[in-house]
Amino acid sequence: MSSILIKNSRIVDENRDQVGDILIRDGVIEKIANDISEHADTVIDAAGKAVLPGLIDMHVHLRDPGYTYKEDILSGCEAAAAGGVTGIACMPNTSPVNDNPEVTEYILLRAKHAKARVYPIASITKRMFGDELTDFHQLKRAGAVGVSDDGKPVENGEKMAQALQNGALAGLLPISHCEDLSIIDGGIINKGAVSEQLGVKGMDRLSEDSITEREISLAKRTGSPVHIAHVSTKGAIEAIRRAKSEGVPVTCETCPHYFILTEQELLKRDADYRMNPPLREESDRAAIEAAVLDGTIDCIVTDHAPHSAEEKRDFEKAPNGVVGLETSLAATLTALVHTGKMDLQQLCRLMSGNPARLLKVPGGRISEGEVADLTIVDLGEQWTVVPEKLHSKSKNTVFKGKNLIGKVKMTLLRGNIVFED
């Protein structure tokens, strides 16, 4: 029986903030107390550092199977561990699409020895074509924790309504990518002053706002939950806030780049700042930040979307997407915690507790009897994001060259050290 004793740390989750020790035995937290003197195989002095529950990122593209030159399950989980992330929900837009138990089982088999837990999100429709629903019960039995056609919406509203009902019956969370592709019509960045200045086709915010409104209406009509992915507009968040006040079963997420950056970054004509949905205006950024702080937004995720340097070379032709597993915690600490806008307990709720509850997976809190998925963080350490030093196969980060405050020093998965700085 292996054991680890973490001494002198600040222990924080959504329900606690205390200084003390944590005794881990056989991958489980056995004891939390002010001073533990029991013998352990490994003793870690975490004085001056915080121990947080391992982060759970419920929106990640691992590109495996099919696009492993961008990322694979093992490299993505290595990047996750370096960012303090111990649980990943991976999206189904792979090749082949994760629309059947065989692909779900392949992902879980590949992830068996990875440095993070991997939770497959299966597709809502077969081959993500939008016409025929997948077998949710079959996918659930294979190990899927949610369903999504991420990268695009399910265009047929009645089909999506059926998906919400099937998801509720199967115990799978439907996650909606809210962008009307007919409105986007080939746009590559936010439609506004910057797209006009650059002379490129923009994406009208109506594309996101309209599908968000539709999903809310379907959730209200069916009484079945829906989760809105990567919210980026003021209009979408206002609709979600209103729906929540009416008791509609809707939850949502956003990414650090939406509450930190704006479309002004695109003036560099650098495709590393292009993603779906795109960086928006300052009014949108401020609205997303406010919604994170007031609890309208349930989760902070990354939408980690790796692309090769070659693919990102041409500003106008490059695919959309950015990596984020190694920067999400530090970026959120820098922008919200160190500025006094949010406390660590709220961060833990948004980045660990709420995702665990929504996906119905282990972790999300630090308590006796809970899995020992933990991250040890030096909250005050400053570091500069150097893309070449990232563990991901792809380096397309919006935070390159940025100085962040808060560095992951160690990550534990099932009580084993999987990353150490």
Residue 202 forms part of a structural domain: yes
Q: Quick one: 57 and 167 in the same domain?
A: yes
Q: Quick one: 14 and 150 in the same domain?
A: no
Cβ–Cβ < 8 Å for 128, 147: no
pLDDT value, residue 245: 98
- 45 vs 10: CA distance, rounded Å: 11
Residue 235 forms part of a structural domain: yes
Mean pLDDT throughout 375-398? 98
Contacts of 129 (CB under 8 A, 6+ apart): none
Say which CATH number the domain at 375 has: 2.30.40.10
Joined tokens for residue 218: 């379907």
> Where would I find the H helices in 111-229?
136-142, 157-170, 181-184, 193-198, 206-222
Say which CATH number the domain at 341 has: 3.20.20.140
Q: Quick one: 72 and 21 in the same domain?
A: no
Q: Quick one: 80 and 123 in the same domain?
A: yes
pLDDT surpassing 90 at residue 1: no
Total domain count, the chain: 2
- 85 vs 78: CA distance, rounded Å: 9
Residue 91 forms part of a structural domain: yes
Residue 17 bears catalytic tag:
no
pLDDT value, residue 234: 98
Task: Please choose, from the candidates 179, 198, 193, 180, the residue with its C-alpha nearest in 3D space to the C-alpha of residue 316.
Answer: 198
Is the bond into 65 cis (omega within 30 degrees of 0)?
yes
Task: Please choose, from the candidates 305, 316, 328, 342, the residue with its C-alpha nearest in 3D space to the C-alpha of residue 377.
Answer: 328
pLDDT value, residue 298: 99
243-299, pLDDT tens digit by residue?
Answer: 999 999 999 999 999 999 999 999 999 999 999 999 999 999 999 999 999 999 999
DSSP 320-338: P-B--TTTHHHHHIIIIIT
Residue 154 forms part of a structural domain: yes
Residue 169 forms part of a structural domain: yes
Mean pLDDT throughout 147-175? 97
| Backbone φ, ψ for residue 235 (5° rounding) | -65, -45
Q: Quick one: 259 and 299 in the same domain?
A: yes
Q: Quick one: 195 and 223 in the same domain?
A: yes
pLDDT surpassing 90 at residue 175: yes
Residue 177 forms part of a structural domain: yes
Per-residue confidence at 306, pLDDT binned at 50, 70, 90?
very high
Residue 365 forms part of a structural domain: no
Q: Quick one: 127 and 16 in the same domain?
A: no
For the chain, percent of residues with pLDDT exceeding 90? 100
DSSP 325: T
* 3-state secondary structure at position 298: coil
Q: Quick one: 112 and 245 in the same domain?
A: yes
Active-site residue identified among 303, 314, 373, 421: 303
213-236, pLDDT tens digit by residue?
Answer: 999 999 999 999 999 999 999 999
Q: Quick one: 23 and 101 in the same domain?
A: no
To the nearest 10 degrees (0 to 180), the angle between helices 234-245 and 282-294 is: 30
Q: Quick one: 344 and 413 in the same domain?
A: no
Q: Quick one: 17 and 147 in the same domain?
A: no
**How far, in whole angstroms, is CA 5 from its chain's centroid?**
29
Structural domain boundaries enclosing 317: 53-359
179-214, pLDDT tens digit by residue?
Answer: 999 999 999 999 999 999 999 999 999 999 999 999
Residue 395 forms part of a structural domain: no
The pTM score is 0.98
Q: Quick one: 222 and 131 in the same domain?
A: yes
Cβ–Cβ < 8 Å for 263, 189: yes
